[in-house]
Structure 1
Amino acid sequence: MQIKKKYIVIGIITLIVLFLVALFSILMVTSYNTKKDHKDHMERVAEIALEHGPIESVDESFEFNGESSYFVYLGKNNEDKAYYVFVPKTEKVEEMKTLEQENGLTKEEMLNQWSSQCTNCELVSISPGIIQDRFIWEVIYTTSEQYYFQNFHFSDGEIYDSISFQKE
């Protein structure tokens, strides 16, 4: 009788392990497909920016989620002028906006300005965006105690607004 119980317990443990392996595999495949689908979608929207915007190539892409959400593409035209093209996530071409890069700080300039003012900060992301029809740089970062979402004027890097949340 003891031997039967031993085999039943081993069988149950084996089934649990197989179930967990299968569940983990399904989650990994789903995660991979979701990321791939998102990347494919961003590439399709980039085609809209190339077709309807002033750029002929995409050098960098961003996502901005604010009062309106945009896929943002940095690229150059045939005269080597750099532009940001803001394509609404609704993909409505008539709501697309463009901004010449020379009208403000580059990503590197904004990061240098931010990092010189923020010691012991860990950058999460930086993205150009639009808030109340103003072009901004959104900088998301953490400190040991808080999460910060700060928006800076695109033109000069001055603070536009800020919100923070305490870490738990």
Structure 2
Amino acid sequence: MIIERKNKFKLTWLIWFIVLCCVLIIGILIYSVYLYYSILNNKETGLQKSEQIILEQTKLISVDKVERFHGDTSYHVITGRAKDGDTYFAFLPITNNHKKQKITLINHANIISQSQIKDHWLKSCQTCHFIRISPGLIDDQPVWEITYKDQSLRYVFDYLSMYDGKSIEQFRFKRFSEK
């Protein structure tokens, strides 16, 4: 009789423990999904507002693409067209205040194209693995941000001037473990 009670008691606690673990795992999964969508929503916050500001405060009449750039200052980088048909980059600082912000406009006709920079980079770093190239602004100077892995498998951010292709800045991240 006493052995039966002990077994029943152990079985009851085992069931409660399993139920508690299941509830905890489900709660963690629900929170993870919520956190993922919250971060994704935050990443896209303000893109439409930036498009509207650019169309109102610059000579651009259409927007082709909106990207983000994170340097010392974060920017929305809007690629758009003006009435004359020229294509421009518009760099709008990402801020929480709604004051008139300094917008930097760069005409594509005055810079080295993305494909030219990439071709030049491919010739100079043949053993590297290209990841992406995107426009940026560092110290009010327009740059191409080239992201790649070098021959030592370091993750590299290389910033080249849009005007002459000269290196402005470079960050290399060393790997601590080999995979």
TM range (shorter): 0.7 to 0.9
Q: Partners in 2 of 1:20 and 1:120 — Cα distance?
A: 44
Deviation of 1:125 (Å): 4.1
**Which runs of 5 or more residues in structure 2 are unaligned?**
1-5
Which residue number in structure 2 is paired with residue 48 of structure 1? 53
The answer to whether structure 1 residue 152 and structure 2 residue 160 are counterparts is yes
Q: Partners in 2 of 1:18 and 1:122 — Cα distance?
A: 44
> Is the contact between residue 63 and residue 127 of structure 1 (CA under 8 Å) also seen in structure 2?
no
Which residue number in structure 2 is paired with residue 113 of structure 1? 120
Could you say which structure has the greater relative contact order, defined with CA pairs below 8 angstroms and 6 or more residues apart?
1
Counterpart mapping for 1:30-49 below 5 A: 30-49=35-54
Alignment partner of 2:134 out of 124, 127, 140: 127
Secondary structure of the residue aligned to 2:63 is: coil
The answer to whether structure 1 residue 99 and structure 2 residue 115 are counterparts is no
Q: Which amino acid aligns with 2:175?
A: K
Length-normalised TM-score, structure 1: 0.86
Q: Partners in 2 of 1:68 and 1:78 — Cα distance?
A: 29
Taking a change above 3 Å as real, the CA distance of residues 113 and 43 of structure 1, as seen in their structure-2 partners, is farther
The alignment yields a C-alpha RMSD, in angstroms, of: 2.1
Q: Which amino acid aligns with 1:159?
A: S
How many pairs does the alignment contain?
168
Give identity over the alignment, percent: 24
**Which runs of 5 or more residues in structure 1 are unaligned?**
none
Taking a change above 3 Å as real, the CA distance of residues 122 and 105 of structure 1, as seen in their structure-2 partners, is same
Secondary structure of the residue aligned to 2:146 is: strand
> Is the contact between residue 75 and residue 82 of structure 1 (CA under 8 Å) also seen in structure 2?
yes
Taking a change above 3 Å as real, the CA distance of residues 31 and 52 of structure 1, as seen in their structure-2 partners, is same
Q: Partners in 2 of 1:75 and 1:17 — Cα distance?
A: 51
Which has the greater radius of gyration? 2
Which residue number in structure 1 is paired with residue 3 of structure 2? none
Q: Partners in 2 of 1:51 and 1:125 — Cα distance?
A: 30
The answer to whether structure 1 residue 81 and structure 2 residue 83 are counterparts is no
Q: Partners in 1 of 2:27 and 2:119 — Cα distance?
A: 46
1:8-33: CA deviation from partner (whole Å, max 9, x where unpaired): 21321221122121122122122212
